[in-house]
Homo-oligomer: A and B are copies of this chain.
Amino acid sequence: MAWTIDSYLTDCRQVVEGELERVLPTADESPAVLHEAMRYSVFAGGKRIRPALTFAAAECLGGSRQAALPAAAAIELLHTYTLIHDDLPCMDDDDFRRGRPSCHKAFGEANALLAGDALLTLAFETAAASSTAPAAIVRVLATAAGSRGVVGGQVADLAATAQQADEATMRFIHEHKTADLFRAAVEMGALTARANAESLAALSAFGRACGLAFQMVDDLLDADNPDDHSFSCVHIMGAERARAYATTLTTEAMDALRPFGDAAAPLRALAKRLLERTS
């Protein structure tokens, strides 16, 4: 069978879901409600894009999917915690996530807050179990996720939604809320394959550009939803410029992959798919 990005994504999803299944306690373990809430949000039908980036980055450098597995699971656990906390009433106050009640709607606000805290913690426990470069992987994940990364982006996003924002603010938000985690996904995969500094920098540039394009496309897709009033690049720069910029960023991402030749085919196909997706 010919290689396709769809079968690649399906394979990655199955592999990472096996690991998520393994590291997440079941409701047999007390407190049952906490473990149920964690699993409810982790197994909610996510596309597992960030783990696929981790695998593809590792494979691009000749690393194995097996070695990248803890890092891939960790990035997805961390991503899930951001969704749970984002949906809380004091944040975006979203009652639904992927067509189902959001975690706090299903389990109550305190349990959702704590399920998010536990998933963030489990992300680091899982990353630290990597057989290659565990401390470096934890540091990359923590730097991307912390106040200089995702959390900083969230704070800026909340402030921007409440007031008039400019293009510089938009760039700060996209860089940190989204691109930092894409970059970390790729860097963690590269570290599991013992990347040298040059390869790490090239893949990091790919991850960043890919993440910025992803957020542009996200905002463009959300712009068709009249109920969505969250901060969006479409309000700042208009749909046409946003679409053009997403394409430019994807080209930038592809350029960063030039040193890797055919080994980067899955990364290229992922970047292309993320640009062209319709959901």
Contacts and interface: CB of A to CB of B under 8 A. Distances in A.
B155 A31 contact: yes
Contact of A135 (B29, B110, B128): B128
A172 B138 contact: no
A242 interface: no
Interface in A122-162: 122, 124-125, 127-130, 134-135, 138-139, 141-143, 145-148, 151-152, 154-156, 158-159
- Report the contact-size class of chain A (Cβ under 8 Å from the partner): 35 or more
Given A30-B172, A34-B147, A120-B117, A125 B138 contact: yes
Contacts of A142: 121-122, 124-125, 128
A122 B110 contact: no
A156 B114 CA distance: 11
Contact of A31 (B33, B38, B117, B159): B159
B128 A146 contact: no
Query: How many copies of this chain?
Result: 2
Given A113-B91, A151-B114, A31 B128 contact: no
A93 to B, nearest CB: 10
A129 B154 CA distance: 25
A118 interface: yes
B134 A113 contact: no
Contacts of A48: none
A146 B122 contact: yes
A33 B151 CA distance: 12
Given A38-B147, A151-B118, A113 B88 contact: yes
Contacts of A116: 117
**A81, A111, A117: most-surrounded residue (chain B CB, <10 A):** A117
Interface in A27-46: 29-31, 33-35, 38
Contacts of A118: 146-147, 151-152
Nearest to A144: B121
Interface string A167-188: 0000010000000000000000
A110 B90 contact: yes
B90 A151 contact: no
A45 to B, nearest CB: 22
Interface of A: 25, 29-31, 33-35, 38, 81, 85, 88-91, 108-111, 113-114, 116-118, 120-122, 124-125, 127-130, 134-135, 138-139, 141-143, 145-148, 151-152, 154-156, 158-159, 172
| 3 A-B pairs with least C-beta separation | A125-B142, A134-B135, A90-B109
